[in-house]
Chains A and B, each alone.
Chain A
Amino acid sequence: MKKTILVLSTLLLTIAIAAGCGQKSADPQPGDQTEVVQPAEQTLKIQSFYTDDQILNLVPKDTEIKFSDAKAKYLAALKTLQQTDDEKLIALWDKSEFLSATLKDDGALTVDVKIPEDAHLGASGEDLALQSLLKTSFQFDEVKTVDILVDGKSVDSLMGHVELEHPFSRN
């Protein structure tokens, strides 16, 4: 475990340094960023979370994400939750859309999602979907809090069974 963390943080540090140079002068708003320097594409092994066909537990699975800008890492990670090639597992976010995932300097990650009506899950589905989002986000040490918005709005609940905290803190 210790070793994994060490490897992971070394990796993150490398990415941060690699990405850092292009960003010092860049606009902190992620959307309208004009990329002066094109950083090399990064590949990162992460854990993504799905559920079993009993919809009972969160099941972690190793996945790989590719991104060029460190800021895109979180959105790339969350998008892995939308599908899995493991037939025994169910991807809980397959019909939803991750619009953005932005990390502020203080470690506050804001995730904006779009949940079409036909993506609404039952009680355990919703809870597991929420947990999968949080676990996937909090595996990055720099993420201290996660605030989930629906279509840019701060709402009480994603699908009407589990309440949202604004924001969720790492516990």
Chain B
Amino acid sequence: MKKIGTLVFFCLMLFMLPSLSHASAGLHLYLNGVSLSPSAEAQMIKSTTMIPIRVVVEELGFQVDWNKKTRTVTIHNDKKTIELVVSQKWATVNGKKVNLDVAPIIKSDTTLVPLRFVGETMGLVVDWENETKSVYLFTSDFGSEVTQPKPPVTQPDPDQGGSTGTGKDEGNNSSNNGNAGNDSKVDLSEIQTMSFEDNRLIIGVSKGDLKPTQQRLTGPNRIVVDIPNSKFSDTFSKTQNFASSGQAEFIVQDHPVVEKIRYSQYSDNPATVRVVIDMKQSQNFSVYTTKDPNTVVVDLNGSSPDPGKDNGTGTLPPHSGKYIVVIDAGHGAKDPGAISLNKRNEKDFNLAQALKVAEVFKNDPDVEVILTRTDDTFLELKERVAFAKQHQANLFVSIHANSINKSSISGTETYYSRDDESKAFAQVMHNNLVKGTELPDRGVRKQSLHVTRETNMPACLLEVGYLTNQTDESALYQEDFQYRVAQSIKDGIKQYLGLKS
């Protein structure tokens, strides 16, 4: 570990040398040691290096889409998709919401995005040299001759996406003063011990009040726990055999459910330690923290000690090991919903559309779709909510068609009610849905609607199009339109869950 660190550091030093010659100018960007074109102007905003999206495309080679209407930047390669919204201090990475230190901004017609966040998320190693005001970017395969990373122990795993950078920890620790965008030196909690006993993974930490997040993933079954504001203590690091991928692990011998436990510094900014428990089968678990001694506990014994508590994002795909998504066809039976221009009922569109979503998800390995109604029956709003809760749904999507007494209004809208994960979920769903409907994008809206407010999982309501508009109406009742929309809903759900579509 130490050795690799020294090598990487030496390696970095080599590339820093030429930059000293033009230390007087502004910010410099280097990719794998090669200076990027002078037009690649970076700017410092609140000690975070921001780069124009043009540079992301032209110099870093990622694909970028810019939606002028929603002011959303989508950056992607074959593995990762980042969505950033101008002036929003959060982004989504493969549909998962993450917080940003600095929001993307528009400055003299140029959209600037945070370099470190984008770079590291897309698998680059980002290093900041304060003296020369230079940012060094390295692709993960660069320098492989020096450090000779072993192929990953397991298959390429979405949970380890953040630590693809070769010897990233060491590189940063050796120049820990003034990393761009990491200047707000929070007092990190140190991971001191890690042990597994009595079906509990107990992680000893130096400080309490941690807010770990959890996910249960399938194929293979694993539990992923992220501990924010934390790093491994030096003592702990020395006793561990970290692979060059930045990951260490221990095998749990002869356990009926647990195979092994892996951990890595998943992200440096914000500092996050990720712990993955590889499971032999799906298993209920709970995550909690204790004080004196300060620990984070992943408990596989039975159910959560506080079953009423909502465990947050993406928790527990239950017994089947699949994510449960409830699709709710709005209205039904005595409640026809809106009446279209040609006197067709909204409830019939909603049902046909919901059934097609179920159809495109048939035999899906990761997601199980459950419908609130499969025929022309009526459910009260609270019955729809109770249905989703009873099935312990991970996501809730209600399908509707819109109506207003002004026939010129046309387009697709997506609604959410809660400012929790629902907001990001609605955004992801909407971005996909408008591609499916090919109708005007009328945006994501917040409104206090019963089914999206009273559910306790990420929830949104889709108003696919306006039945009171000629164009929308004729599209909505067509089979091929409904299949296209069903596919876009599926794409949105898979994107939000971080699954391959």
Nearest CB in chain B to that of A117: its residue: B339
Query: Measured between C-beta atoms, what is the minimum distance from A59 to chain B in Å?
Result: 14
Name the distance in Å between A44's Cβ and chain B's nearest Cβ.
27
CA–CA, A119 and B445, complex, Å: 22
Given A160-B330, A161-B449, A163-B382, also A120-B402 (CB < 8 A): no
Which secondary structure dominates chain A's binding surface? Answer: loop
Q: For the complex, is B406 an interface residue (Cβ under 8 Å from A)?
A: yes
Q: Which residues of A contact B400 (CB under 8 A)?
A: 122-123, 161
Chain B residues contacting A55 (CB-CB under 8 Å) are 404, 409
Determine if A157 and B447 form an interchain contact, defined as CB atoms under 8 angstroms apart. no
Contact B406 A123 (CB under 8 A): no
- Residues 355-387 of B at the A interface (beta carbon under 8 Å): 380-382
The answer on a CB contact under 8 Å between A123 and B335 is no
Q: Is the CB of A162 within 8 A of B339?
A: no
**Interface residue? B138 (CB, 8 A):** no
| B413, CB-defined interface residue at 8 Å | yes
With A156-B381, A156-B382, A161-B461 as given contacts, are A120 and B449 in contact (CB-CB < 8 Å)?
Answer: no
> Does B290 touch A at the CB level, under 8 Å?
no
**Least CB distance, B69 to chain A, in whole angstroms:** 13
Contact B447 A120, beta carbon cutoff 8 Å = no
User: A90 touches which one: B331, B337, B405, B442 (CB < 8 A)?
Assistant: B405
Q: Bits for B327-356, please: 1 = Cβ < 8 Å to A, else 0.
A: 000110001111100000010000000000
In the complex, per-residue mask of A43-62: 1 if CB is within 8 Å of any chain B CB, else 0? 00000000001111000000
Contacts of A53 in B (CB 8 A): 406, 409
**Residue from B336, B381, B405, B447 in contact with A124 in the complex, judged by beta carbons closer than 8 Å:** B447
Verify if A118 is at the interface (C-beta below 8 Å from B): yes
Q: What residue of chain A has the Cβ atom nearest to residue B461's Cβ? A: A123
How far apart are the CA atoms of A122 and B463 in the complex, in Å? 8
**Separation of A53 and B406 alpha carbons in the complex (Å):** 8
Contact check: which of A54, A91, A117, A156 meets B336 at CB < 8 Å?
Answer: A117
**Which residue on chain B has the smallest CB distance to residue A124?**
B447
Residue in B337, B448, B466 whose beta carbon sits within 8 Å of that of A162 in the complex: B448
- Per the bound structure, the CA–CA distance linking A120 and B336 in Å amounts to 9
Contact across chains for B447 and A160 when beta carbons are under 8 A apart: no
A170: CB under 8 A from chain B?
no
Residue from B382, B450, B461 with most neighbouring chain A CB atoms (10 Å):
B450
Which of the listed residues A91, A117, A124, A127 has the most CB atoms from chain B within 10 Å of its own CB? A124
Contact for A163 among B330, B381, B463, CB less than 8 A? B381
Closest Cβ of chain A to B349, distance in Å, is 12
Query: When chains A and B are docked, how far (Å) is the Cα of A91 from the Cα of B380?
Result: 27
Whether A95 is near chain B, meaning CB under 8 Å from some CB there, is yes
Does B415 have its Cβ within 8 Å of any Cβ on chain A?
yes
Nearest Cβ distance between residue A91 and chain B, in whole angstroms?
8
How distant is the Cα of A56 from the Cα of B228 in the complex, in angstroms? 37
Nearest-neighbor residue (CB-CB) of A131 within chain B: B448
Q: A156-B380, A157-B381, A160-B335 are in contact. Are A122 and B404 (CB under 8 A)?
A: yes
Q: How far is the CA of A120 from the CA of B339 in the complex (A)?
A: 7
Contact of A122 among B336, B401, B451 (CB under 8 A): B401
Offer 12 A-B interface pairs, CB within 8 angstroms, sorted by A.
A53-B406, A121-B338, A122-B413, A123-B415, A123-B463, A124-B445, A125-B403, A127-B447, A157-B450, A160-B335, A161-B330, A162-B449
Q: Which B residues are within 8 Å of any A CB, using their own CB?
A: 330-331, 335-339, 346, 380-382, 400-406, 409, 413, 415, 442, 445, 447-451, 461, 463, 466
Knowing that A90-B406, A119-B405, A123-B402 are A-B contacts, what are 20 other residue pairs whose CB atoms are under 8 Å apart, sorted by A's residue number?
A: A53-B406, A53-B409, A55-B409, A94-B405, A95-B405, A117-B339, A120-B336, A120-B338, A120-B339, A122-B403, A122-B466, A124-B445, A124-B463, A125-B403, A157-B380, A157-B381, A159-B338, A161-B330, A161-B451, A161-B461
Residues of A within 8 A of B (CB): 53-56, 90-91, 94-95, 117-125, 127, 156-157, 159-163
